[in-house]
Chain A
Amino acid sequence: MVEAVGLGINTRKRAAIAFYIALLSIGSLLAGCQGRERNGIVVAGSTSVQPYAEVLAEEFAVMYPESSIDVQGGGSSAGITAATSGTADIGMSSRELSEKEQHLWSKEIAKDGLAIIVHPDNPLRSLSLEQISLIYSGQATKWSDVGGSSESKIHIVTREEGSGTRSAFSDLVMGDVEISPRAIVQDSNGAVKQLISDDLNSIGFLSLGLVDDSVKALMLNGVKATKENIINGSYGLFRPFLFVVNGEPTDLALEFIDFAVSEQGREILSTEGLIAEE
């Protein structure tokens, strides 16, 4: 009785469904067998760099229609691992290379600012690095603890473990201090922005290129979070976007990296919100 209602599908229908699934999986297997095209490279890694690399790849394809550039995600560490092992021709990283990774060839294609954001109606205008660290470690729990006027609790918003944006924030702001486990975890830049724009008492961090009117970027020690201030060195929260290759890049990989740092490439990245000036 329970089975009949709970599963709702009789055996014959289930067999038919299984049959279609089998057909579908055979189809996708065959499609997967075509393999890499002769004149193609794989670019894999940081999901923060990925959207920008995709734009570059599209423009590159206009100039070289016979080439194919396959841009994949996976995260900075996975990208560096893939470049080391040769699974990917170019790895993308949104953090500096660690000691162990120094033997790899790398090229910075742009810098990306990190903005500390709050609700637009939040009266707070500026924080210091120490204050941000106090908030995120859970020591400062009310806005009045960091110079605000409100006695409300601060709702900390962070990214998930493994995110490049989170690791950049950890390195630049937190140092050895851990982010409080009570922090709300959202799994994308979009979700963070949506939540902050909705909750008057929340604070979060976001790639500077993605900040818009729905949230307010805080000043750091009174310095505004702008491209100009990052270039002149007064705003310190930024991270490099790297292309990583095992050994000197050759052929198509070299052409693609050259394109990324050419005047045209820099202009594209700059329009997309990154800091790609020489």
Chain B
Amino acid sequence: MNKDTISKMVFFILALSSISALALITGFIFIQGLPLFFKVGFANIVFGTKWAPSQGSFGIFPMIVGSVCVTLGATLLGVPIGVCCSIFLVEYCPASLSNLFRPAIQLLAGIPSVVYGFWGLLFIVPFIRNNLGGPGLSMLAGSMILGIMILPTIISISEVSLKDLPRQYKEGALALGMTHWQAIYSVLLPAARSGITAAIVLGIGRAIGETMAVIMVLGNAVALPESILDPIRTLTTNIGIEMGYATGDHQQALFATGIVLFVIIMILNSFAQYIARRK
């Protein structure tokens, strides 16, 4: 064997190890979680509204609703800001300012989620409690934190997709007498649609999978929320908050929660890939 073949083999084996980690994790989650689905019944877990593992009730419907609501809230807050920010960076931002903006956004992505959560607990939660009422630990607090956390994902991917557009699009639009804003709104944004949609879907995936930050600000109550000021629990926080004590069926129920989350995220990611490739 020559050196080239050897190095190729070495890199292949190393690359394989990262894939096998994924296979191991996936296999383990399903082996641990699936038996409970057969024992208790799929519908009783996914559509059950009572969560009391010590008494044999494993309904995670309130948490599915919780995950969807918090993620939706984060999207409503994060997407407009993120997309506008990327438009600003590509179309309006002077070079001097962009040297400040880009590293700052990178830095936002680098802040550990526990720091976001702690900051939320000390500033956002008391702010909501004192000004809007309720316990403060709420769906709104979680949405605000996640809305900020998904900004880097949305901004960087939208920015790249706007930048990648051929120069002629903008030049042609301006030559036809459009103003700068008209060119952005009616030519550039529609042309970059698939990239921006992918950015939003990946942002949603990030929000739905986040755990540490939301454990600290959501309040984790297992009930269907009546208002955005109510405490709620998401799928991820259910695992995070109870894994320390769980044994037997309770532990399997947490893995079952993981399976549901896994499936949701797989669907979201494949959707993002599909949109990004479609062009």
- Residue numbers of A with Cβ under 8 A of B are 1-3, 5-6, 11-12, 14-19, 21-22, 47, 73-75, 77-78, 81, 153, 155, 160-163, 167, 178, 180-187, 195, 198-199, 201-202
Contact = CB atoms under 8 A, between A and B. Distances in A.
Contacts of B250: 161-162
5 contacts: A6-B202, A15-B11, A155-B134, A161-B250, A185-B220
Interface majority SS (helix, strand, loop, mixed), chain B: helix
B56 to A, nearest CB: 12
Closest 4 CB pairs of A and B: A162-B245, A185-B220, A2-B276, A155-B135
Nearest to A138: B223
A73 B157 CA distance: 44
Contacts of A160: 220, 241-242, 245
A185 B222 contact: yes
Interface string B222-235: 11000000110100
Given A181-B221, A202-B135, 11 more contacts: A2-B195, A2-B198, A21-B17, A22-B17, A161-B51, A162-B242, A181-B50, A181-B222, A184-B220, A187-B215, A187-B240
B160 to A, nearest CB: 5
B244 to A, nearest CB: 7
Contacts of A81: 247
B220 A78 contact: no
Contact of B15 (A14, A73, A178): A14
Contact of A2 (B14, B50, B136, B272): B272
Contacts of A183: 221
A19 B164 contact: no
Given A18-B14, A18-B18, A184-B231, A161 B53 contact: yes
Given A160-B242, A162-B250, A184-B137, A15 B15 contact: yes
A211 B99 CA distance: 51
A140 B125 CA distance: 24
Given A2-B198, A5-B157, A163 B245 contact: yes
> Which of B50, B231, B276 is most buried by chain A, counting CB atoms within 10 A of its CB?
B231
Nearest to A188: B244
B247 A18 contact: no
Contacts of B276: 1-3
B241 A187 contact: yes
A161 B246 CA distance: 9
Contacts of A167: 54
B140 to A, nearest CB: 14
A163 B242 CA distance: 9
A5 B86 CA distance: 14
Contacts of A178: 52
B244 A187 contact: yes
B219 interface: yes
Contacts of B221: 181-185
A155 B11 CA distance: 56
Contacts of A161: 51-54, 242, 245, 250
